Structure 1
Amino acid sequence: MKKLFKYLRPYRLSISLIVLFIFLQCLCNLYLPTLMAKIVDNGVIKGDIPYIWRIGGFMLAVSICAVVLSISAGFLSSRTSSSFGRVLRSEVFAHAEQFTLHEFDHFGTSSLITRSTNDITQVQQLVNMMLRMMIMAPLNFIGGILMAVYTDARLSLVIVVMVPLLAIAIFAIFSRATVLFKSLQVKIDKLNRVLRENLTGIRVIRSFNRVDFEKRRFDDANLDLTSTTTRVQKIMATLMPLLMLIINFSTLAIIWFAGIRINNGLMQVGSLIAFIQYVMQLLFSIMMVSMMFFMIPRASASAARINEVLEKVPEIADRELVRHANGAPGTIEFRNVTFSYPGAEKPAVSNISFVARPGQVTALIGGTGSGKSTLVSLIPRFYDIDSGALLVDGIDVREQSQENLRSKIGYVPQKAILFTGTIADNIRYGKDDATDEEIKHAADIAQATGFIAEMQNGFDSFIEQGGTNVSGGQKQRLSIARVLVRRPEIYIFDDSFSALDFKTDAKLRSALKEEVSNSTVLIVAQRVSTVRDADVIIVLDEGRIAGIGKHRELLETCQVYREIVSSQLSEEESA
């Protein structure tokens, strides 16, 4: 928890003002019972009406001052805690953006969302409470004791018995609740994960008639969270009645012993009223601290989860000495590259060596799980290789800044991703300052202009979250247009034509040939028809290169390629 407090440093002035305002408010609150005692002893009992009006008016002024100070402190503490939460969310988001795909898998998407929202909210609420109550409670507690002792030292012995009883009660309850609070956030993660899977996979769930099964799965996670929350609330619910019981018994004890002292002439009625008010301030300061304790276990668990994200060092980071490219722009060279996914039993790709040059189309083909997508994901450095060297523009990718490396690459992923916004916004995602003409040209090359023109608002048509209002083929063409508008040195199409019909596929590849003639193009595909005209075809089999060459060469020299071709094309087509 302490590690997160460094994000409060920019708000030191606000925090100082909060402390000052609360200190003055506490002085006002501690002064009011003394004024009340004077009114009773010197005004009411003696019948001095002008004195009552004079001191009463002064009490009203002190009360108004306390209210103004309280509102000011509340406003500043709310603004400070909200700003703290905003900065912390930005830090978590910015740090998570640097994670590798492996680190995203380690935390899980649902957990990162929970940590960035619910967990930070818990810490933010605690900070808001701390800025007020953690300052006010000690001041009221200490001030209440001092003023109570000043009012009547002998009667203050009741406090000596009362305070330890309150401390024991609070400790007993929170020692049981802390463990449950830690598990509570984990169960929120689980519920979010189940909910997210249900919402994103609704088509599959319905197609397999698994709605009832998913309802039961959600109900189990929901019931687990509910039962834990109920157990925590039951434990915490005993706190307030227990505290009030001790406070009420303490009040009875004070009135009992004070009555004896008043009867013996050792104490005045006004002093009793003041003493009770001081003790109430003392007790309510303890109750305020107990309310803080109610939030601390959960906020501490949340803070630990936030720190886990912030302290996670990304596996891939730019080196201090970054070398600039000295080779031909767009050249990609694999030198005996081997890569394994974390925890995998064997490498995903092994001893891969080839060169992809500008002006060439290099195609990767192979069976499912042969390592095609893994291989191209190493070029933008989504993962770091285990051994060998991967060079772009003649320099190892590990010796280039990630931003500079990725600025050269236009990557179309296997699963087309669109963002909420207009079609033009999604295409312009590849180049912020792209003109309308550039966007239209990219859409023409990607064979997307036809279906865009049929939409009600053309390029200003709105894309729903996840692109749910367009088909798979349309999403792929928009993703390709987004890369084309960027005009990078290197184009990577990771099975990006799979949802296109053969006619559209052929038109798109024909248009691409002229558009990217001076760039390096890598195409990952399952269809032989997509790769047969490539300048270089690389055949992968179980993570290794089974053959390199052109279509006709591979038909003669590569058994794996012949099997792929024969499974898709007739003898006449393959020839």
Structure 2
Amino acid sequence: MKSVAGLFKYFQPYRFIVLLGPLFMCLEVGMDLIQPTIMQKIIDNGIASEDNGYVLWMGLFMFGAALLGLIGGIGSSIFSTRAAVHFATDLRKDVFRKIDYFSGPNMDKFGAGKLITIMTNDITAVQQAAMMTLRIFVRGPIMFIGSIVIVYLTARELFSILLVIVPILVILIILFTIKAGSLFGLVQKAIDRVNTKTQEHLAGVRVVKAYGTEEYEMKQFSQVNENLTKVNIRADLTIMGLMPILQFIVNMGIVFAVWLGAIKLDGGSMEVGVIIAFVNYLTIILNSLMTSSSVLMQITRAFPSAGRIKDVLDTKEDMVEAEMPVSIPRRKGEIEFKNVSFSYSRNGEHVLSNVSVHVKAGETLGIIGATGSGKSTFAKLIPRLYDVEEGQILLNSTDIRELSFEELRDSIGFITQKNMLFSGAIQNNIKMGKSDASEEEMLSALADAQALPFVRNLDGMLDYELTQGATNLSGGQRQRLSIARALVRKPAILVIDDATSAVDAISEANIQAALKKHYAESTKIIISSKISSVKEANQILVLDDGKEAGLGTHKELLESNELYQEICRIQGIKEGETYGSARK
């Protein structure tokens, strides 16, 4: 309940239309409530007395009431829908903004599948609950209470029937609602698993096809899908099972009312119109309870969704900016790791342990090591995708935790190991590196990244539309566009995390030549598993199981570091050889 109350603030900007929806609904309900009473008058005072004028006048009055009810219903639908949709739009925007600023640990905590479910199913469920609350949930209780009051005033002889039926109906609705609430929580978790599995499959569909494991993946998906089916059936049967029971109880009340009314009618103490009006009001009570229970079920279903949404909105970011950030020179990129240790799980099992290295502005640091040695983690710590557990990272002699995220990340060009491009025009992807980049700057960056030749051959060049994940490009083309996106901003620090693995040797050599020529002022952190990518660096850091296993130039390491010598031996690099001669 607290989670739902915490979302009420999103109605504040629309409080006027939020108020209009229920007000128009009150008009509709009022007109609906007087219809059976008007019919009673027509039967008992008009038809029974053969007063056609009275029947005509009351008929016109009934038509006018129905017309007003129509206006109220339309108005209520318009305003409640607008309020609920605006509410969901603002809520979705804030959730997306919150996710957008999540740190690495925050993302790891929720997982992509769950966040997608929250952004879609959960917010839609809360929107539907809000709309139904503003409209139908106002209608149900008013119709219910109004019908009971009118029956008490106009058909008191039959009122005792309501005293028996109504408590039974209310108790049943409460019990079913409690049961349904727990089941809907399970439904949301099952949807999370289906979304996660679907996302994983779509991301790795090429691997699945390459290994021919379609049937295995289908079995895996069938398991989570079957679980969702079972939980959905239980939840839906709980809801649907309530309706026939309510209908049966009300029908029994109608039968008893007709039987009792017939006795009273024979005794002359009751008129036909009163019995008909009571049956109508009993039907209204049933409908109001059924609609109210449906809304209550929807609200109950929205409770787990609202809780999950609030979990996202209330999540405290693991990494926060300094209250008074320090400014540093924009074009200078001196960086230093001082005794840095880091663990993803924070359980003492460090991915990096006590690493120290100092890179002067404009210099190049190469990082090499086996898979799992901590190379990519080293890269992620520089733009504060994660925070160090121990030690410091200094940028221009200032701890990066004392800088604003904007200033820190604006000074970094980050080329990730996974070449993530977004759907849309190529130029939109390049401008992520520099939003105001001119066409000349983009073409220059593409040329330096060895991407210009293939971009020139695409329809529209910079306007060429990429599909989701840029699947209409090859791996090497995606990699070169990712490099161009980082180069266009002419960063103070350029972090290249194994970003030439899908690039041929000639293109890689040309990229390295462009980095030396056009980005001499940038401090370059080049992470690679290939000696050829790092051998010209001012320093090469050799990592082994997260620890510093060597630091020096290519020549120094080749003379004194056994691990580096082993890597060179495996890759066919010998002392005194250039990369070109080694390839020959």
TM interval, shorter chain, is over 0.9
Q: Equivalents in 1 of 2:326, 2:21: separation in Å?
A: 50
CA distance in 2, matches of 1:193, 1:49: 69
What secondary structure does 1:158 align onto? helix
**What are the within-5 Å matches in structure 2 for residues 52-67 of structure 1?**
52-67=55-70
1:307 CA drift (Å):
1.6
In the aligned structure 2, how far is the partner of 1:344 from the partner of 1:560? 28
2:409 aligned to which of 403, 406, 410: 406
Distance 1:110 1:486 in 2: 33
Corresponding residue for residue 115 of structure 2: 112
Q: Distance in 2 between matches of 1:497 and 1:405?
A: 25
Question: Using the alignment, how far apart are the partners of 2:330 and 2:502 within structure 1?
Answer: 36
Per mean C-alpha deviation after superposition, the further-off stretch among 390-399 and 344-353 is: 344-353
| 2:53 maps to amino acid | P
The alpha carbon displacement at 1:538 in A equals 1.6
Q: Is the 8 A contact 2:161 2:253 kept in 1?
A: yes
Quick check: 1:168 aligned with 2:171? yes
Q: 1:570 deviation in Å?
A: 3.9
Instruction: Quote how far apart the aligned CAs of 1:130 are.
Output: 0.7
Instruction: Tell me how far apart the structure 1 counterparts of residues 544 and 135 of structure 2 sit (CA, whole Å).
Output: 65
How far off is 1:569 after superposition?
2.3
Alpha-carbon distance, 1:78 to partner:
1.1
2:191 counterpart (188, 192, 196): 188
Determine the C-alpha separation between the residues in 1 that align with 2:183 and 2:119: 21
**What is the one-letter code of the residue matched to 1:190?**
R
Please give the per-residue CA displacement for 1:138-158, whole angstroms capped at 9, x wherever unaligned.
Answer: 211111111110002231111
Q: Post-superposition shift, 1:27?
A: 1.7
- Alignment partners' CA distance in 1, 2:573 and 2:392: 39
The separation in 1 between residues aligned to 2:576 and 2:72, in whole angstroms, is: 86
User: For residue 235 of structure 1, what is the aligned residue in structure 2?
Assistant: 238
Distance between the aligned counterparts of 2:573 and 2:73, measured in 1?
84
Tell me the distance in 1 between the aligned counterparts of 2:208 and 2:576: 39
Q: Hey, what's the Cα distance between the residues in 1 that align with 2:308 and 2:52? A: 62
Q: Choose which of 554, 557, 568 in structure 2 pairs with 1:554.
A: 557
Shift of 1:345: 4.7
Deviations 1:42-78 (A, max 9, x none): 2111111111111111110111000111011011111
Question: In the aligned structure 2, how far is the partner of 1:140 from the partner of 1:514?
Answer: 79
Contact 1:32 1:59 in 2 (8 A): yes
**Following the alignment from structure 1 to structure 2, what is the Cα–Cα distance between the partners of residues 74 and 456?**
47
- Partner Cα distance (2:251, 2:568) in 1: 88
1:573 deviation in Å?
5.7
Does residue 99 (structure 1) correspond to residue 102 (structure 2)? The answer is yes
Aligned to 1:518: 521
1:130-180 CA distances to partner (integer Å, 9 max, x unpaired)?
A: 111221112111111111100022311110000111123223433433322
From 250, 253, 263, the counterpart of 1:260? 263
Instruction: Name structure 2 gaps, 5 residues minimum.
Output: 579-584
Shift of 1:480: 0.8
| Mapped partners of 1:425, 1:323: distance in 2 | 31
The answer to whether the 8 Å contact 2:333/2:362 transfers is: no
More displaced stretch, 562-571 vs 182-191: 562-571
1:279 alignment counterpart: 282
Contact 1:137–1:285 (Cα < 8 Å) also in 2: yes
Question: Residues of 2 paired with 1:571 and 1:404: CA distance?
Answer: 42
Q: Verify the 8 A CA contact 1:130 1:292 in the aligned structure 2.
A: yes
Distance 1:242 1:102 in 2: 49
- Residue 178 of structure 1: aligned partner: 181
**Number of equivalences:** 575
Q: Which residue of 2 aligns with 1:300?
A: 303
Structure 1 equivalent of residue 545 of structure 2:
542
- Summarize the alignment of residues 388-399 of structure 1 with structure 2, pairs less than 5 Å apart: 388-399=391-402
The range that moved more, 295-304 or 402-411, is: 295-304
Query: Which stretch shifts more, 100-109 or 448-457?
Result: 448-457
Cα distance in 2 for partners of 1:90, 1:517 equals 41
Equivalence for 2:581: none
CA distance in structure 2 between the aligned counterparts of 1:478 and 1:90, rounded to whole angstroms: 29
Deviation at 1:314, TM superposition (A): 1.1
One of 211, 217, 221 as aligned partner of 1:218: 221
The letter for the 2-side match of 1:549 is G
Give ranges in structure 1 of 5+ residues lacking alignment.
none
Which residue matches 1:155?
A: 158
The answer as to whether partners of 2:424 and 2:465 remain within 8 angstroms in 1 is yes
The TM-score with structure 2 as length reference comes to 0.95
Could you tell me which of 447, 451, 455 is aligned with 2:454? 451
Deviations 1:223-267 (A, max 9, x none): 111122122222222211111111111111112222222222222
- Give the letter for the 2:162 counterpart: I
Identity %: 39
Residues 157 and 365 of structure 1: is their aligned pair in 2 closer, same or farther, counting only changes over 3 Å? same
TM-fit CA distance, 1:190: 1.0
Q: How far apart are the structure 1 equivalents of 2:163 and 2:276?
A: 19
The answer for the alignment partner of 1:244 in structure 2 is 247
Distance, in Å, in 1 between the alignment partners of 2:231 and 2:140 is 30
CA RMSD across the alignment: 1.7
Please give the alpha-carbon distance, in whole angstroms, between the structure 1 residues aligned to 2:443 and 2:328.
32
| Equivalent residues of 1:328, 1:393 under 8 A apart | no
Task: Report whether the alignment pairs 1:4 with 2:7.
Answer: yes
Residues 389-425 of structure 1: per-residue CA shift (max 9 Å, x gap): 1111222111111111101111000111111112222
CA distance in 2, matches of 1:396, 1:77: 51
**Are residues 378 and 478 of structure 1, via their aligned partners in 2, closer, same or farther at CA, if it must alter by over 3 Å?**
same
Q: Which residue of 1 aligns with 2:144?
A: 141
What is the CA–CA distance in structure 2 between the aligned matches of 1:281 and 1:327, rounded to whole Å?
72
